[in-house]
């Protein structure tokens, strides 16, 4: 039978290529602008922490130079904070446009977010501070808080992008499974017109098992499964030959099992590899993945519901640790001693709940990636 000539790209394909090229071009430009703006703004904020963390500046009327320095610092802080938030947002957008679907995308964003969120620690370690005026420390505190705010914003964006990426991957995997081009056995085959699709069923209950083969297949009559026996209609020629020649298979399951044509020329590993490259087994894996899209989120929700209070207390301790780290730079107006505000008996609030939800969403996204890897890469 003559093969069909390769058709020219259709309007949809040309449109998709055009959009992909636009995104790729724009992604690089947006990423570069975001990096430059973030670096400049970070430099401004770090300069404020260094200068006002090591110089005694006051707002005394007898010190007009100090008053002007504080005014200039307020202006620089505003520009630095706005620039940092915009720069990190553009950085995240550029990374998403260029590396969407790459595992390095959320990892990179979270690393950078953590770097900014913990800036009060490493800036103190790198630069160091000494006791100065309360006005100087107020400027220092605002600059450090802006850096921490930038890390919080980037962390939220990273989690949102992670969840969006997982949603797209779940949709594609539940609809198509593994790529058809990766299938050595049955690639390009269409679903049979006469089948009973049973969710998580055996091979002969799935849409790619052909009716004329099924009626003469010993696996079907034995009520077994091809990937369990390592023998199937897509990989073993004897099964197809038996169907073509009209072999009569007993209807009894025990008797039919004796007609299964086991291939003794291949090792168990080679037979397993055949299954991994079979369109029927891929359909089974697709349904398995679809099942896990219900099991994993329900498991995460159950874990959250059962251990919500201990998790909230752990999250409150985590947030409290960061607050303590920041408190070393918070000074009362009466002196230069650090003040750590602690509310005795206070429970977790909305902030802790929000942080915990973000952590659980991140865990869910990572679990789904692990499930996807195990089902479609390792073929478990």
Q: What is the DSSP track for 214-275?
A: HTT-HHHHTT--HHHHT--TTT-HHHHHHHHHT----SSHHHHHTT----SSS-HHHHHHHH
**What percentage of the chain's residues is helix, strand, coil (to nearest 5)?**
70, 0, 30
Q: How far is it, in rounded angstroms, from Cα 353 to Cα 334? A: 34
Q: Please report, for the chain, how many H helices and E strands are present, in that order.
A: 14, 0
C-beta separation of 251 from 221 below 8 A: yes
Higher-confidence position of 91 and 181:
91
Can you tell me whether residue 196 is helix, strand or coil?
Answer: coil
What are the tens digits of pLDDT across the range 111-152?
999 899 888 777 777 776 666 778 887 888 889 899 989 998
Asked if residues 286 and 251 have their Cβ atoms less than 8 Å apart, the reply is no
Per-residue pLDDT of 320-341, as tens digits, reads 766 665 555 444 333 444 434 4
Geometric angle at alpha carbon 143, from 323 and 61, rounded to 5°? 115
Which helix (H) or strand (E) segment holds residue 1: the answer is none
pLDDT tops 90 at residue 39: yes
Cα separation, 280 vs 290, whole angstroms: 15
Burial 53-65 (b: 16+ CB within 10 A, else e): beeebbeeeebee
* Torsions phi, psi for 344 (to 5 deg): -70, 130
3-class state of residue 63 by DSSP: coil
CB–CB of 48/138 below 8 Å?
A: no
Q: Measure the CA–CA gap between 212 and 195, rounded to whole angstroms.
A: 11
For residue 188, count other CB atoms closer than 10 A to its CB.
Answer: 8
Q: Report residue 380's pLDDT band, with 50, 70 and 90 as the boundaries.
A: confident
The residues near 172 (Cβ < 8 Å, ≥ 6 apart) are none
Position 51 scores a pLDDT of: 83
For residue 70, which of 148, 5, 164, 137 has the smallest C-alpha distance? 137
Query: Could you identify the residue written with the tokens 């869910």?
Result: 364
pTM score above 0.85: no
- Residue 292 predicted with pLDDT over 70: yes
What is the per-residue pLDDT across 190-240, written as a single tens digit (0 to 9) for each?
A: 777 666 678 898 999 988 888 888 888 999 999 999 999 999 989 888 888
Tokens 């202006």 — which residue? Answer: 75
């Amino acid at each position: 039978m003559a093969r069909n000539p390769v058709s020219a790209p259709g309007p949809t394909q040309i449109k998709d290529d055009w959009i992909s090229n636009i995104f790729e071009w724009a992604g690089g430009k947006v990423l570069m602008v975001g990096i430059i703006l973030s670096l400049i703004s970070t430099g401004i904020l770090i300069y404020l922490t260094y200068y006002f963390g090591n110089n005694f500046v006051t707002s005394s009327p007898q010190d007009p130079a100090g008053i002007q320095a504080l005014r200039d610092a307020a202006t620089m802080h505003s520009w630095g904070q706005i620039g940092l938030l915009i720069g990190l947002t553009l950085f995240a957008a550029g990374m998403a446009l260029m590396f969407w679907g790459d595992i390095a995308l959320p990892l990179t964003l979270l690393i950078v977010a953590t770097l900014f969120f913990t800036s009060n620690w490493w800036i103190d370690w790198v630069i160091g501070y000494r006791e100065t005026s309360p006005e100087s420390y107020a400027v220092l505190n605002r600059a450090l808080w802006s850096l921490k705010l930038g890390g919080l914003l980037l962390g939220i964006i990273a989690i949102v992008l992670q969840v969006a990426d997982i949603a797209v991957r779940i949709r594609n995997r539940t609809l198509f499974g593994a790529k058809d081009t990766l299938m050595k056995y049955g690639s390009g085959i269409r679903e049979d017109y006469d089948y009973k699709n049973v969710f998580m069923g055996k091979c002969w209950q799935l849409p790619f098992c052909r009716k004329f083969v099924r009626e003469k297949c010993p696996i079907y009559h034995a009520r077994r499964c091809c990937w369990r026996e390592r023998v199937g209609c897509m990989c073993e020629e004897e099964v197809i030959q038996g169907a073509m020649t009209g072999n009569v298979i007993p209807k009894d399951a025990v008797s039919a099992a004796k007609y299964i044509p086991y291939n003794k020329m291949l090792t168990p590993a080679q037979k397993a590899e055949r299954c991994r490259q079979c369109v029927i087994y891929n359909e089974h894996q697709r349904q398995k993945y679809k099942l896990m899209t219900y099991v994993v989120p329900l498991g995460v929700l159950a874990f959250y519901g059962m251990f919500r209070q201990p998790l909230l207390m752990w999250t409150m301790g985590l947030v409290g640790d960061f607050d303590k780290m920041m408190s070393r730079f918070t000074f009362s107006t009466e002196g230069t001693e650090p003040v750590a505000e602690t509310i005795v008996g206070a429970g977790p609030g909305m902030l802790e709940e929000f942080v915990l939800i973000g952590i659980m969403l991140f865990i869910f996204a990572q679990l789904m990636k692990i499930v996807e890897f195990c089902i479609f890469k390792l073929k478990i």
